[in-house]
Amino acid sequence: MPQELRKQAIPYKPKKGEGYMSSKQLMHFRNILEGIKVELGQDIDRTVHTMQDEATIFADPNDRASQESDMALELRNRDRERKLIKKIDETIAKIDTGDYGYCESCGIEIGLKRLEARPTATLCIDCKTLDEIREKQVAK
Ligand SMILES: [Zn+2]
């Protein structure tokens, strides 16, 4: 199933004279986003199962310690996936409201190429670059 979804996600080729973010393009990106969401959902299900499977109590304290750090890692991954799913939901909502594909900061078109690579991008490449420079300065 995820494999099929990926195969569908071939870059969209707009027809001559087709406007930016036409209904077909929106459909294309919605499919990609829904596909990623399905995959993430399956990952989370798998994590839950793994954790249940591993809920055996090890007699050796060393085993127990590594089991605990495995679980902490799993939980962090799950947290990251949940955030990503939230982000995807927000992005799909933007498709619904017609805001998808435009930079949140300056309002210009993010561009098909960038969206193919990062379907959840909310900033154009210029604003994103600026953002990253600012983040680095804050981190210093
Ligand atoms: Zn921008």
pLDDT per residue as tens digits for the range 12-59:
999 999 999 999 999 999 999 999 999 888 877 776 676 666 666 777
**Ligand 1 centroid, distance to 26 Cα (angstroms):** 20
Share of the chain above pLDDT 90, in %: 57
pLDDT at 4: 46
CATH number of 3-139, picked from 3.40.50.1100, 1.20.120.910, 2.60.40.10, 3.10.450.50: 1.20.120.910
Residue 106 is assigned to a ligand binding site: yes
Beta bridge partners of 109: 102
CB 85 within 8 A of CB 41: yes
**Ligand 1 centroid, distance to 129 Cα (angstroms):** 9
Residue 127 is assigned to a ligand binding site: yes
Spell out the domain ranges in the chain.
3-139
pTM, to two decimals: 0.75
**Ligand 1 centroid, distance to 122 Cα (angstroms):** 9
